[in-house]
A and B are shown apart, each in its own frame.
Chain A
Amino acid sequence: MPGLVEAHSHVMQGAFWKRVYCGYFDRMDPEGRVWPGLTTIDNLLVRLSKADREFEDRTKPLAGWGFDPLYWGSERLQRRHLDQVSTSRPIGILHASCHILNVNTKTLKMAGLLRSGLKHPGLPLGEDGLPEGELRGHECMALANRHVGFMREELANDEFGFRQFAKQCVRTGVTTATDLAAVLPDDAVKMMLRVTAEQDFPVRIAAMRKFINLTGPDLIRVARELGDLSTDGLRLGSIKVVADGSIQGFTARLCAPGYFNGAPNGIWYMPREHIEEVSRLALKENVQMHVHTNGDQATQLVLECIQKSLKKHAWSDHRFTMQHCQLASRNQLKKMRELGLCANLFSNQIFFWGDLHCKYTVGPKRARNMNACRSALDIGVPTAIHSDAPITPLSPLFTAWCAVNRLTHSGQVLGKHECITIDEALYAITMGAAYTLKLDSEIGSIEKGKRADFAILEQDPTEVDIKNLKDIEVWGTVQDGRVFPASEQ
């Protein structure tokens, strides 16, 4: 079939594999090795201790990622557990959501947090009055990130990680992927340009400049400059704007009645005036914009901003894309169609966090309408689906399985009425995704004049039982006419 397109991922997924995988679910690394999921603290400590022994430089940090204790019941990871692995080197374990970090005593000391008298909602204290070693929220995590190797800038310019990401693309049939929120410092751009130009680099990367640390007008100028550097292998020039937080972190902005468990509404990541200004300038300067919204209130606000901006600068083919927009209502989807927006829905959430959304975040009624692929297609919104790797695993076939079956981890079907067919899901992970990247004239289907990008599968996805879509083996890819067997990665 046509090469698969992952329209919302982050290439730092590759660099994460230099760290220890600590997730609950089995996950395949770029070398093709499957790391079994961890279901108890003891399992976790065994894996970390092994890594500790193998990692000779005793002063270097030991980092883990993908940790997901949501499924563990009441057992909670504390620094005393991680101290069993090492008291001499800093240890940091990042949660799957990327919103919580667990650290050992050494890291707490280095961060200046091994003190009594600290008071912070993101820093639970033990009976001794000292932090237990869990750091919740980005501000708290920022105190320790640099000691355990989770600095964003470091991750952005990690050539080894970039290559690992590409290997993973081959294993999952992906021939074009995205780095959806990159800061793109000069040296990282140079590295990505060089590596993607190599004869045997197997994937095309579209990298969007994140709106951070510069003003709206500067962002548009930078995006245009980056656009001029675009090559076949590295597509630059579009931007990413983040409006709110995440639903499972209770930081997404929800319309009434708000969070199911009564938590206060989430937080805005930027003032609406900035979103308005940058959307207006983007339309004027023909820079494509991707907007992260999770909550329905954030989606509504962004729609209003873009509607206003479109009145000032019409651009018939802007294809601004709402990223995640997990709670978008039918009315909002109609508005998106009217304004010419695309939706890239986060179908993987249904499996990984669907049960949690029913119980705590939005309740069963709204959870059944989350990531409403059926509605989006019926209304006529150009639709893609995504993994947001490393938040959930990179694998468009798995994502398609999620959109087709809408099964949660506990096995319940979450909103049968929003299921789509296999054909529709396969379209979403090829042409649908390519359309949101404005690459549909080059990739996404097997047609004369298009690039020779193929995903080579061991079974025909249109002939398997819908329950087995995610289990189809990938032989490898052909990318731009070059053959890449997964077994040789």
Chain B
Amino acid sequence: MNQELQQSDRIQVTIVGGYLGAGKTTLINHLLRNANGKRLAVLVNEFGKLPIDGDLIESIEGEVINVVGGCICCSYGESMISGLMDLTDIKPSFDCVVIEASGVAIPGSIATTVQLLDGFSLNGIITIADCDTLLDFVEDPYLSDTIKTQFAHSDITIVNKTDLANEETHTAVIDWLSQNYPTTQLIETCRTIVPPEIALDLGNDSGQRELFQSNDSHASAFTSTSVQLENAMDIERLAEALASKALGLIRVKGFMKSGDGTIKSLQTVGRRWEIKPVQKQVPCHMVLIGMKSNWNPQSLQSLIAKFVV
């Protein structure tokens, strides 16, 4: 691809990392099941099985598994980067790509390389930790530095299988992660059941839709709010505020007018934020996702109002 693409046409890439057994496969199947009509491609690492639940498989063509709903799953091929490049030859093009990193890969360095690729943009790094075994790996002389580096650039860290760990371990894991990676957004789950919006950019242009619901007590711990934005905003300062640790938002996606009258998209994932120009006309609104436990839509509304220009 030789020409610069419009930012909004780029394929959004989410990187899912974590050691073997952390729950990457479960998360990926969950995302495929709840892709909300978006075309999703999953790239699995060079040693993994193609990790798709049987009922999701429509057909298998060589290395490619066609999944219900126009999604596909395939292995890296020659390398992760050439696997991604090959995806651009497939039409119609994909909306999102999820890269399942191998257990010893460093998601942060995959992300750095993805950002070099024309036609793609980074949507976030999600690293999964098995609550019960994480601290064993941290102390393992072979793995310690690898595991630590895996979390270093994580936007969202999912602490999974909290039901299998005893209370003491659970507390120790949360403490260790929050002390060593203060900028990572922590989420706790049992079976990586999280709203897919956390991992994928599922926002459609109207933005009005219910957050994924499930009977799983962990999934129902999430909530979201949608805000209409009529006025022009100081988008950079708003982005900084929404990504602040104190607010603890997991993800924000929105479109709004900037001071110069152009429309921009704003996206936050954990503490990271990104503003991009938007070419087409879209309604101005914003969806914010966070945890029910500290959710206060009124104060979010008034926070946002402070950045009207």
Q: Which residues of A contact B (CB under 8 A)?
A: 109-110, 112-113, 115, 118-123, 138-140, 142-143, 145-146, 151-153, 211-216, 253, 264-265, 267-274, 297, 301
Given contacts A119-B115, A120-B112, A143-B116, whether A271 and B78 have CB atoms under 8 Å apart is: no
**Which residue of A119, A122, A142 is within 8 Å of B79 (Cβ)?**
A142
In the complex, which residues of chain A have a beta carbon less than 8 angstroms from the beta carbon of B4?
115
Alpha-carbon separation in the docked complex, A298 to B82 (Å): 27
Q: Would B112 and A267 count as touching, CB distance under 8 A? A: no
- A-binding segment of B100-108, B172-180, B283-291: B100-108
B163 within 8 A of A: no
Nearest B residue to A268 by beta-carbon distance? B104
The answer on a CB contact under 8 Å between A110 and B2 is yes
Question: Please, which residues of chain B bring their CB within 8 A of the CB of A110?
Answer: 2
Contact A119 B112, beta carbon cutoff 8 Å: yes
A269 to B81, CA, bound (A): 16
Contacts of B77 in A (CB 8 A): 213
Chain B residues positioned under 8 Å from A122 (CB to CB): 113
Q: How far is A263 from B247 in the complex, measured between Cα atoms in Å?
A: 37
Report how many A-B pairs have Cβ atoms within 8 Å: 89
| B23–chain A nearest beta-carbon distance, Å | 15
Q: Assess whether A273 is in contact with B142, with CB atoms less than 8 Å apart.
A: no
Which A residues lie within 8 Å of B263 (CB)? none
- The answer on a CB contact under 8 Å between B112 and A215 is no
> Can you list the 10 inter-chain pairs with the closest CB atoms, starting with the nearest?
A112-B118, A142-B81, A271-B103, A268-B104, A139-B113, A142-B79, A212-B46, A215-B49, A142-B82, A271-B104
Q: Report the bound CA distance from A296 to B273 in whole Å.
A: 41
Check if B78 sits within 8 Å of A151, measured CB to CB.
yes
A214 to B74, CA, bound (A): 11
A138 and B79 contacting across the interface, CB-CB below 8 Å = yes
- B231 to nearest A CB, angstroms? 30
A302 nearest CB across to chain B (Å): 11
> For residue B1, which residues in chain A have a CB less than 8 angstroms away from its CB?
112
CA of A139 to CA of B116 in the docked complex: distance in angstroms?
10
Question: Could you write out 10 A-B pairs with CB less than 8 Å apart?
Answer: A120-B113, A138-B79, A139-B109, A139-B113, A140-B116, A143-B117, A216-B47, A267-B106, A268-B104, A270-B104
B19 lies within 8 A of chain A by Cβ: yes
Residues of A within 8 A of B119 (CB): 112
Considering the complex, give the chain A residue whose CB is closest to the CB of B103.
Answer: A271
Say whether B20 contacts A273, CB under 8 Å.
yes
- Which residues of A have CB within 8 Å of B79? 138-139, 142
Q: Is B48 an interface residue (CB 8 A)?
A: yes
**Cα of A301 to Cα of B144 in the assembled complex, Å:** 14
| Known A119-B112, A268-B146: A139·B47 in contact at CB below 8 Å | no
A270 touching B81 by the CB < 8 A rule? no
Distance to closest chain A CB from B107 (angstroms): 13
Residues in chain A near residue B146, CB distance under 8 A? 267-268
Q: Are B46 and A118 in contact (CB under 8 A)?
A: no
